[in-house]
Amino acid sequence: MTLLEMAIHVCEVVGKNDPASLEACKGFLRRRHEVIYDSGLFKDLLDVFSLTVLDGSGIAVLPLEAARPLAVWDPASHLPYTLDELASVIVRDPSHMSGGAMGTLSFCEGPRTAWPFPLGDGSRLAFYNLGNPEITVGVAGFVAGSGGLPPYPVTESLGIGSGAFFANTAGTFVSIDRLSKPRTPAPVFCSGLATNQSWVWPAAMEEASFATVRLMPPPSAGKVLSCYAKKAFQQMEADTDTPMVRGSTNALLAFAQADMLERSRQYGKAQMKTGEGTAMLGVARDVDVNQSAYEARVTPQVAYLEGTEEWLGWS
């Protein structure tokens, strides 16, 4: 069912067919849709992506379409990287935080970033508004200090007219923590003036956020890796949009009906429908796991070079 069809169905069930109730129901469906997305790793939400390693830092940036990394491997050597915890690596062997002759052994999920390219010693940012009307872009990060001073935090709000090109004026950024804008009719073209690297900010995306992977030890040179990851969330914006997860429609209908009942101050009935939605979500998970290709497997993990003379310290 599409977003509009689900909203009409729920409004008919609760007896609220006015335009305000229909729009409210669409909002409830959208919020519950995001809750279902966050609730698990459904097969419809998983895919393989390519990621590039930044300039020897050991940080690889995933594309905007990927939300969270699950597995990483080198497609050139066909070798997988072991999943590890950053704190455990630091406690066990801090040398893995710097480059080593043995190459990359493991990975962990890195911090999210708002800019997908290296900034080097600092970069001024440029934005081009491809649509109409004027939009506002918020930038938050650290700007390089002058005269030997350390970087300092800066927050800018940039008004960009239709078809206009605008560069920030605060200074050269050494790190960018947040980029935000409202939903726009057209994408926004983003570029770093110092590095001349650019990317396109989708119209429906309010906050620019890229997932990253930290490789340990960092590779000595840049490379392209493959990553099995969870897809980024795609909201049901248009009336014709459908849920990302197959089989979640009944759960969405029950949750939205509960929200509409709460809107009418019918809290007892709303609690019952919330329980029904939770049960329907369990059915969707069962369909995803037990009614499709699936195999549970326990794989032992063996450390790199384990049992060799080098691993024992004899060489």
Domain edges within the chain: 3-42+245-290, 45-111+213-232, 125-208
- What is the value of pTM for the model shown? 0.81
Maximum CA pair distance of the chain?
79
pLDDT at 242: 95
Q: Which amino acid is at 23?
A: E
Per-residue pLDDT of the chain (315 residues; tens, 9 = 90+): 999 999 999 999 999 999 999 999 999 999 999 999 999 999 999 999 998 776 667 888 899 999 999 999 989 888 888 888 888 888 887 877 776 545 667 899 988 888 888 776 556 788 888 887 888 889 888 888 777 788 889 888 888 888 777 766 656 788 888 999 998 888 898 887 777 788 899 888 889 989 999 988 888 777 788 999 999 999 998 999 999 999 999 999 999 999 999 999 999 999 999 999 999 999 999 998 888 777 777 777 665 555 555 544 555
Q: Output helix, strand, coil percentages for the chain, rounded to the nearest 5.
A: 30, 30, 40
20: exposed, middle or buried (C-beta count within 10 Å: 0-12, 13-18, 19+)?
exposed
Phi/psi at 311 (5° precision): -70, -35
Plot region of 233 (φ>0 → left; ψ -120 to 50 → alpha; else → beta) = beta
pLDDT at 301: 64
CA–CA distance, 121 with 139 (Å, rounded to integer): 18
Which stretches does DSSP call E strand in the chain? 46-53, 59-61, 66-74, 79-80, 82-83, 106-113, 125-129, 135-143, 152-160, 165-167, 173-180, 188-192, 197-201, 207-208, 210-216, 224-231
pLDDT at 60: 87
CB neighbourhood size of 195 (10 A): 12
Is residue 233 within 8 A of residue 37, CB to CB? The reply is: yes
pLDDT at 53: 79
Is residue 174 within 8 A of residue 162, CB to CB? The reply is: no
pLDDT at 101: 44
